[in-house]
């Protein structure tokens, strides 16, 4: 291990960035944009996603506009450490709301080990309630970016996700046939 890498790994402080908002707001797109900028700077990056997110690809982070980035699929948050490579400096995780509560400990361990961690996920579920580990991750973040979509009913700023099919479980993997972006005025649960 060269001296520069040793100094960077042992004396720099990590950083936690969280990108959040409703469905169709461009969270994955923003995550991919940040990954691509880091790649241009020749930084070592690894991308991860939960196994439950199988909408577009099993081994890629994919935006609704079909931008994509290769990713390792994880069944549990702790499994990330099994795939972590030595020279990685940036960890990107999409759909973080689907991970178990262990994701908070995993992320904070990475930050303490001087990694730049970039997360993207829904901050609220379809009922407008905090989603999974997101409240803790948002509270611990060094940077929070809340992205808005466009309400499908009125065209105003949408901060909510409306489920348009009859299903009550909090987690239902879907896209435009199951969900729409809505403003607070047109969100059923607001």
Residues catalogued as catalytic: 95
Q: Is the dihedral of CA 122, 31, 177, 55 positive or negative?
A: negative
Distance (Å, whole) CA 118 – CA 69: 14
- Residue linked to tokens 């991919």: 32
- Residue linked to tokens 């990108």: 19
* Contact predicate 133/101, CB 8 Å: yes
Structure-derived torsion over alpha carbons of residues 19, 23, 26, 29, reported in degrees to the nearest 10: 80
């Amino acid at each position: 291990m060269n001296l520069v890498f040793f100094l960077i790994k042992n004396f720099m402080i990590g950083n936690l960035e969280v990108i959040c908002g409703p469905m169709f707001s461009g969270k994955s797109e923003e995550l991919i944009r940040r990954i691509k900028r880091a790649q241009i700077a020749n930084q070592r990056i690894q991308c991860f996603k939960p196994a439950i997110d199988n909408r577009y690809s099993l081994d890629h982070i994919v935006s609704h506009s079909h931008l994509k980035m290769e990713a390792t699929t994880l069944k549990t948050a702790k499994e990330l450490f099994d795939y972590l490579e030595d020279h990685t400096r940036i960890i990107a995780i999409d759909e973080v709301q689907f991970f178990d509560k262990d994701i908070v400990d995993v992320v904070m361990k990475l930050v303490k080990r001087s990694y730049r961690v970039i997360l993207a996920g829904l901050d609220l579920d379809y009922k407008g309630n905090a989603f999974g580990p997101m409240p803790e991750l948002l509270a611990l973040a060094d940077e929070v970016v809340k992205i808005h979509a466009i309400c499908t009913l009125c065209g105003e700023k949408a901060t909510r996700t409306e489920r348009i099919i009859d299903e009550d479980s909090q987690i239902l993997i879907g896209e435009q046939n199951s969900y729409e972006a809505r403003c607070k005025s047109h969100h059923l649960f607001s």
